[in-house]
């Protein structure tokens, strides 16, 4: 199932797109950002185990950080 459809019309010398190229660019940026943000919801597992990694709290962090796949996907 396609995410969106694009139609193009050539009217010499112009090439017209529906939806406009700026709107397509905005759609693609939203898709990219949504994929990156959704990666934060997939927690990493411990190596060789079926248990999730423990959350860690850094020295300057106020809240605990989860180990996710976000860095690899970005």
Express each pLDDT in 2-43 by its tens digit: 878 899 999 999 999 999 989 999 999 998 888 888 877 777
- The conformation of residue 3, written as its DSSP 8-state character, comes to S
pTM: 0.56
Q: Which two tokens stand for residue 38?
A: 């959704």
Give residue 4's pLDDT.
Answer: 81
Find where tokens 């019309």 sit.
9
Q: How confident is the model at residue 63 (pLDDT cuts 50, 70, 90)?
A: low
pLDDT at 67: 65
pLDDT of residue 36: 80
**Pairing of the two strands 14-18 and 7-11:** antiparallel
1-to-4, 5, 58 alpha-carbon distances in Å: 9, 10, 43
Domain ranges of the chain: 7-73
Cα(36)–Cα(30) distance, integer angstroms: 10
């Amino acid at each position: 199932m396609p995410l969106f459809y694009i139609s193009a019309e050539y009217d010499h010398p112009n090439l017209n797109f529906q939806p406009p190229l700026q709107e397509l660019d905005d759609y693609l940026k939203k898709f990219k950002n949504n994929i990156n943000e959704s990666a934060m919801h997939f927690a990493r597992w411990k190596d060789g185990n079926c248990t999730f990694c423990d959350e860690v709290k850094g020295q300057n962090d106020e809240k605990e950080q989860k180990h996710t796949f976000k860095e690899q996907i970005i």
